[in-house]
């Protein structure tokens, strides 16, 4: 009999997991409250990076995969993965509302001996002290009646080298049995699995991974300001430093950080530290630097063309990283707002996004006083700008 798996949350984490599980022989149910997304999955018309529509169609037709807005079918699944967003709220504090809703919905249909795996990024202790009590209360079962594991997602959209199958996977469990069940599941389609001694170690490791990137991106952004003042190309500096075969890893300047992980996860770590009276000066300073980068480039734009009031400015690329159609936490939004606040008439171009904030992407042309390269997608042909001055946020003097 084919074992059934339910994946709650059909985004950049849930969709790839669904396909990987289906490939390895599981019957997979995807659950999302977004009816349009569910319809797009079931019709194999959903448009996501690294997602093969033909493969989805094959699994749909074979009955191996389907999507639904209803949680009721969870009662037939012995493995349930939670892959919902854990963003920041308007106070830039951890927002567990999506996780709470998903967990409560799962608990209503939870059966004995089911395995629930949390993949969403959370603060240390969340799986043990937040998720498990909700499952108990909603199901009427005790935590000894079901299994809980934590295995943080490691998804990098548009990465052509590191996929789910070849990216090492951290696995932890509330009990040894929970851990072993999760290990057995992931080992079916992931080459390398790493067992953590506790759930809290795995939760903290995920926060460390992205805090490392967050701090180093802020450092290189700060260094790029230094290099710009000295008229040194930061990219050449990074290339030179990268020739060292040990003790160095290259990071690159930008308008700031965006996406569902890098600007969010470090603040989960910072919040957890502050709750127990521990300082996180590096993270707090890194956050400040990255928050200030859009304003810095507004100032650079003013200098480049002698003021922005009444000027036509084109911002090129609005997604948070090159070659992905994702605007979550994009720092380009703050850049555009800053330009508008200086009186500029701002337009933007991004063929991967097309529509955003009630506006549409415009064509690249020479009909502007200034162009700002914010997100350098591979498809861009900057020759279409003609003689329009270009401010490149990815290099200090170009």
- The pLDDT score that the predictor gives to residue 396 is 75
User: What is the DSSP track for 70-100?
Assistant: -SGGGGG-SEEEE-----B-TTSSB--HHHH
Residue-wise pLDDT tens digits, 363-375: 999 999 999 999 9
Kindly name the residue from 83, 196, 227, 261 that is annotated as catalytic.
261
At residue 156 the predicted structure's pLDDT band, cuts being 50, 70 and 90, is confident
The two structure tokens encoding residue 150? 């934590």
Q: How many CB atoms lie within 10 A of CB 328?
A: 17
- The pLDDT score that the predictor gives to residue 80 is 98
The CA distance from 18 to 21, in Å, is: 5
At residue 398 the predicted structure's pLDDT band, cuts being 50, 70 and 90, is low
Mean pLDDT of 202-226: 97
Mean pLDDT of 265-279: 94
Statement: residue 2 has pLDDT above 80: no
CB 50 within 8 A of CB 157: yes
Cα 269–Cα 124–Cα 84 angle in degrees, nearest 5: 85
Which residue, among 151, 123, 375, 156, has the nearest Cα to 261 in the 3D structure?
Answer: 156
* pTM of the complete model beyond 0.95: no
Question: Is the Cα torsion angle 56, 59, 63, 67 positive or negative in sign?
Answer: negative
At residue 249 the predicted structure's pLDDT band, cuts being 50, 70 and 90, is very high
Statement: residue 8 has pLDDT above 90: yes
- The pLDDT score that the predictor gives to residue 68 is 96
Dihedral angle of Cα 249, 253, 256, 259, to the nearest 10 degrees? -50
Residue-wise pLDDT tens digits, 61-74: 999 999 999 999 89
Q: What is the enclosing helix (H) or strand (E) of 41?
A: helix 35-42
The two structure tokens encoding residue 273? 């530290």
3-state secondary structure of 6: strand
At residue 1 the predicted structure's pLDDT band, cuts being 50, 70 and 90, is low
Question: Is the Cα torsion angle 83, 84, 85, 89 positive or negative in sign?
Answer: negative
Statement: residue 397 has pLDDT above 90: no
- The pLDDT score that the predictor gives to residue 48 is 75
Mean pLDDT of 238-256: 96
DSSP letter, residue 391: E
Mean pLDDT of 26-38: 95
Mean pLDDT of 306-325: 95
Percent of all residues in the chain with a pLDDT value above 90, rounded to a whole number: 90
The CA distance from 292 to 290, in Å, is: 5
Q: Is 196 a catalytic residue?
A: no
Q: What is the mean pLDDT of the chain?
A: 95
Mean pLDDT of 89-96: 93
CB burial readout 197-226, b (16+ within 10 A) else e = eebbebbbebbebbbebbbebbebbbbbbe
Mean pLDDT of 253-279: 93
41's CB contacts (< 8 A; 6+ apart) are 10, 15, 30, 56, 60, 66, 67
Whole-angstrom distance between the N-terminal and C-terminal Cα of the chain?
61
CB 21 within 8 A of CB 182: no
User: What is the DSSP track for 301-353?
Assistant: HHHHHT--TT-EEEEE--SSSTT----TT-THHHHHHHHHHTT-EEEEE-TTT
- Sketch out the chain's domains with CATH numbers: 4-197 (3.40.50.720), 210-392 (3.40.50.720)
At residue 157 the predicted structure's pLDDT band, cuts being 50, 70 and 90, is confident
The CA distance from 362 to 378, in Å, is: 17
Percent of all residues in the chain with a pLDDT value above 70, rounded to a whole number: 99
Query: Which residue in the block uniquely carries the two structure tokens 């850049």?
Result: 335
- The pLDDT score that the predictor gives to residue 242 is 97
The CA distance from 320 to 350, in Å, is: 11
The CA distance from 267 to 261, in Å, is: 10
Mean pLDDT of 101-108: 98
- The pLDDT score that the predictor gives to residue 391 is 97
CB 129 within 8 A of CB 103: no
- The pLDDT score that the predictor gives to residue 159 is 84
112's CB contacts (< 8 A; 6+ apart) are 141, 145, 146
């Amino acid at each position: 009999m084919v074992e059934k798996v339910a994946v709650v949350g059909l985004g950049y984490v849930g969709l790839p997991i669904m396909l990987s599980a289906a490939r390895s022989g599981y019957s997979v149910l995807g659950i999302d409250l977004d009816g349009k997304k569910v319809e797009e999955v079931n019709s194999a018309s959903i448009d996501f990076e690294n997602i093969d529509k033909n493969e989805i169609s094959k699994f749909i037709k074979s009955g191996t995969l389907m999507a639904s807005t209803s949680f009721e079918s969870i009662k037939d699944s012995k493995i349930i993965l939670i892959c919902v967003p854990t963003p920041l709220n308007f106070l830039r504090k951890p927002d567990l509302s999506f996780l709470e809703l998903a967990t409560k919905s799962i608990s209503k249909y939870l059966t004995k001996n089911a395995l629930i795996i949390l993949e969403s990024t959370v603060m240390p202790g969340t799986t043990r002290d937040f998720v498990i009590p909700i499952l108990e209360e909603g199901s009427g079962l005790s935590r000894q009646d079901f299994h809980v594991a934590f295995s943080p997602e490691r998804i990098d959209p548009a990465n052509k080298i590191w996929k789910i199958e070849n990216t090492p996977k951290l696995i932890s469990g509330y009990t040894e049995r929970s851990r072993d069940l999760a290990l057995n599941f992931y080992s079916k389609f992931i080459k390398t699995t790493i067992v953590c001694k506790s759930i809290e170690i795995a939760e903290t490791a995920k926060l460390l991974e992205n805090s490392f990137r967050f701090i180093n991106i802020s450092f290189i952004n700060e260094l790029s300001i230094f290099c710009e003042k000295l008229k040194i190309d930061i990219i050449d500096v990074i290339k030179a430093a990268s020739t060292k075969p040990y003790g160095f890893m290259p990071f690159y300047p930008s308008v700031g950080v965006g996406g569902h992980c890098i600007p969010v996860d470090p603040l989960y770590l910072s919040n957890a530290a502050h709750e127990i009276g521990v300082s996180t000066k590096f993270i707090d300073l890194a956050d400040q630097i990255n928050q200030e980068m859009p304003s810095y480039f507004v100032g650079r734009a003013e200098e480049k063309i002698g003021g922005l009031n009444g000027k036509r400015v084109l911002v090129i690329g609005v997604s948070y990283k090159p070659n992905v159609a994702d605007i979550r936490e994009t720092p380009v939004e703050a850049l555009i707002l800053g330009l508008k606040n200086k009186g500029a008439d701002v337009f933007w171009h991004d063929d991967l996004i097309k529509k955003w904030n009630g506006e549409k992407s415009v064509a690249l042309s020479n009909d502007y006083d200034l162009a700002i390269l914010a997100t350098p997608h591979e498809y861009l042909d900057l020759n279409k700008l003609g003689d329009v001055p270009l401010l490149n946020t990815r290099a200090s003097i170009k």
